[in-house]
Each structure stands twice: as C-alpha cells, then as structure tokens.
Amino acid sequence: MISLSASAVEVVKAAMSRADRAAEGLRLVAGEGARDALQVVLHLDVARADDMVIEQGGLKLFVDDRSRRFADGLRIDFVASRGAGDGGFVVAADVVRPDRLA
C-alpha cells in the first residue's frame, strides 16, 4: 500500500487548484534508477484505463502497471523548508525489498 501524509495531500490539492490544465490527481511513476536505486517521479495527471487508483484525504493517486511493483510500501510526505516558503516531497520505503529491483 502507498500512503500520503496529510501535508502531501494538502499541497497537491492546492497545486491542482492552480494548475493550467485539468488534473484529477497525482501520478506516481516508479522504476529502477542508477545503481539499482529506486527512482520516483510525481506529477499532476488524469486517470488512465490501467491505473491502480488510491484515494486518500479526497486526493486520487494514480499508479500504472509498470510502477506497481516498485511502489508498494512507499510513504509520500511534504516537508516545508525553513524560512524560504518552499519545500519538497519526501518519498520513503517502509521496507527495501530485493524484488523491487529484480
């Protein structure tokens, strides 16, 4: 299961309200990166026919078939930086599983 923190949900909903094009939720794309590291990309998107859709706090998270095996157990949070008003998403795995990168 993938989980989103309340702060991540809040930030994504705010971004969706300001987006130039229609977005139904947040897409998570995951796969193998350099040196067998897990690489994750997040962006606003619409649902596709083969997506797994996870809804948390009224926000839809879309995960395609190829990303599913990498995404199980991920936790997505948004952490604000001090003073600058910016911040970023932090993606962490509950457990590192060798089959994610096999």
Domain ranges of the chain: 3-100
pLDDT tens track for 45-81? 999 999 999 999 999 999 999 999 888 889 999 998 7
Tell me the C-alpha distance between 36 and 101, whole Å.
6
d(CA 45, CA 2): 17
List strand residue ranges (DSSP E) for 1-102, in order: 3-4, 25-32, 38-45, 52-56, 59-63, 74-80, 87-93
Residue pair 44/23 in contact (Cβ under 8 Å)? The answer is: yes
pLDDT of residue 4: 95
Interval 12-32: pLDDT, tens: 999 999 998 889 999 999 988
Which distant-in-sequence residues (6+ apart) come within 8 Å of 62 by Cβ? Answer: 24, 25, 26, 27, 28, 45, 47, 48, 51, 52, 53
Q: Which pTM value belongs to this model?
A: 0.84
In this prediction, residue 57 carries a pLDDT of: 95
DSSP 72: T
Q: For the structural domain made of 3-100, what CATH number should be given?
A: 2.60.300.12
Residues linked to residue 77 through DSSP beta bridges, in sequence order = 90
- The pLDDT of residue 36 is 75
What is the reported pLDDT for 20? 86
